[in-house]
Structure 1
Amino acid sequence: MCFYFPEYIYQHFLKIRKYSGDAFKLEEVVKQDFINISKPLTYKGIFAFHKYWGKKPIETTSFFIENFTNPGDIVLDPFLGSGLICRECVENDRSFIGIDLNPFAIEHAKLILDLPTLNEYKIAFELLKEQVCEEINRSYTGSDNLVRSHYLWDDQELKQVWRKNRGRKVILEPNAHDYALAASFNDYQITNFREATFFNNSRINSTSGLKMHDLFTGRALRNIDILIEAINDFPRYLQRALMLTLTSAVGQMSNMVFAITDRGKNGNGSLNEIEVGSWVIGFWRPKLHFEINVWNCFENRAKKFIKTLSLIQQRKIRFTENIGQYFSSEFDALLIQDDCLKVMNSIPTDSIKLISTDPPHGDRIPYLELSEVWNSILNKKVDFDSEIVISDAKNRNKKKANYIEEMKNFIREAGRVLRPDGVVIKVIP
């Protein structure tokens, strides 16, 4: 992790930290604070709930919020990403503004700020289970009328079928019923979410002709559809929690789950000691891969979310998506899905104490392209044209010169909205 931490910011830090009468020297305290963020802990609780590309340690955010702002100050993240900073700000009595072009990023931040109660989510999950579990599991039921948990495919050839017996794995030889059942969903057409948009980008293994049917079996798409149709009947705040439970699990529902053999991820070793891998960054479709029961994937994530909610102290957080309303009323946070330059133009001059952000790092991580499966499942439209990024996808025409000019505009706008005593922290990997 690299922190852009200019000397004038360090001097500012020395000025705002007052330890009169403290037995420790200021320099020792500063050193200890840096030690704390140089060895961050693993993600826990709500911060570990959902995968996101380039997610940063929360200790970094906490350090800057604590040391560079006071209660009531406004913190801005114009490239919100995973949105972990929003709850950290609010829980420390700072006001927060988060902006991101990525629909998923804003939905995730809304969830973090507006969590359902443990009881609400548990009831919703049980109702959902009653509605869809049996129907989904029928699509994985073998000739012995027992539900399968995993199918191991080598391209189009079915190698193994797994089921559970009292929590233990039972490996079966595939039969004609297994092939026929899988094939019966091959022509399934999705109805409750949109087709994804991909670009020719070898960096993330995508092509413009790539479709959701290339990433998922027809059976998986049909079962995802069943889940979404049932989720849509819940109140909006519960819909969000359930839909993000689905997106957090959808990678394991795909054809991108590699099989780990004794020869590695996709080796030619024995299948006797095979293990289930996971979805890695990009859209790599390994030849040897697993198809996993969609309900099991969803239930596993839901149970983790239930555990997370049981450890969180609930508080009422008021957030809005209207910038005028935010500055004229008492809201804890403002979340806006839009081009950050356009939104920042509406933020009053000299109003922001801290800008803490992880801006687009050239062509390293094309966030919108990587989030497209999630946004497809969420049925959210994506404005690829407005993204500040360098992309290897030539048909997007996202070149270095445009990126530099847009980042210059961002820096100028950041200087305008920042208070005279304000600070900009740029965190990059």
Structure 2
Amino acid sequence: MTARNNIRGLAMKKVTVIGAGIVGLSVAYHLQKQGADVTVIDKDPAGDKVSFGNAGSIAVMEVNPAAMPGVFMKVPGWMLDPLGPLSLRPAHSLKMLPWLYRFYKAGRKNAGLPLHQALAALNRRAFDDLQSMLADTGLSGELHRKGALIVYESDAGFEADKSVWEMRKRAGVEAHSLSSEEARQLEPDLGSRVRHGVFAPQAGVVSDPKVLTDKLREWLAGHGVRILRGEVTGIRPAAHGTQQVLLSNDLRIDADDVVIAAGVWSQALTRQLGEQCCLESERGYNTTLKDPQVSLSREVIFAERKFVITPLSCGLRIGGAAEFGGISSPPNYQRSEALVTLAKMYLPGLDSGRGIPWAGHRPSTPDSLPVIGPSLAHKHVFYAFGHGHLGLTQCATTGQLIADLVYGHTPAVDLTPYSIARFQ
């Protein structure tokens, strides 16, 4: 055994990561690189999850919280619009009140800047961290940096977003305003509805988020990380300072440290540990068209309509919409159909046949910040969830920050804004 392996052996920790989405797998990767003995537990490790069906965006320009000043007053109008970006199922409305109240507070003028700064601190590292992780795992070919085109259909919408773009630029986001003709030069299949554009060259996409997630999980399994199927029912202290993860099949997993990265299902575990977390399922919808008869070379974001179209290796993915209805309600695929209707308004040549609808649960916090950091009550439990629309963007950065915490290193980012303490 080499001296280096001796050191790794002496420092080896047994760490259990709960959740096999892209965030949980990224945490497992960074822990494994630090020398940990890692086990990942998920009720369906290879099954469908939000990490598979997202738009594939590395959205480094999204450094402003959803609850910007003035947004709360637009919510009723969005919900009344059948093609609008937001819906709330009536049966879930009372349960949403605590989340909506915090969303309202997050949108106040004095709250916006700290939230913006906290998002920017993660996103300015995101592409480099992801690129490094994918290079080390042989997956560099899955990542492409072609920039994103953001388009507007009205002068008023473009003018209203100027303050948003100024905040982005101050956070280091590059942005170049385009005329309608310049936007169509970048993407010739866009129709005449587009009046303004902004090109964000730092943004990127992955070829297919499902392929990326599958390949990363397979790489981890091939490099000593155990991937187990099981439903976690609890975490409790065990002998000699270890933690015991309890599974529904009566299996017990002992670990020195536990990381909860189970997306929207993380809240049930934090409550079981005695800590409150304001987390909701923001169900997202999309439709993937195998043969759309139009071509896009990069991600296109439709700013006023709040949806996105991304060219992936599996087809043209039209994604967006936010539906609050809890995690047990069945999906309403009319939302997926509405997105295709919107897309045809901007891409006149779009063939909407052979569309594959999809829906998934985004773990959404009211202030748009993920929960990253230690449990307040349990020394050896750490949190890595609540990334909303930015799980793929922030996954590698989150993994590095959690590994630093587990090994007692000072994280490169001040984690105070992301602490679960803000919900207590």
Q: Is TM (by shorter chain) over 0.5?
A: no
TM-score (norm 1): 0.25
TM-score (norm 2): 0.26
Instruction: Choose between structure 1 and 2: higher helix proportion.
Output: 1
Task: State which structure, 1 or 2, has the greater radius of gyration over its C-alpha atoms.
Answer: 1
- Structure ranking higher on relative contact order (CA contacts 8 Å, 6+ apart): 2
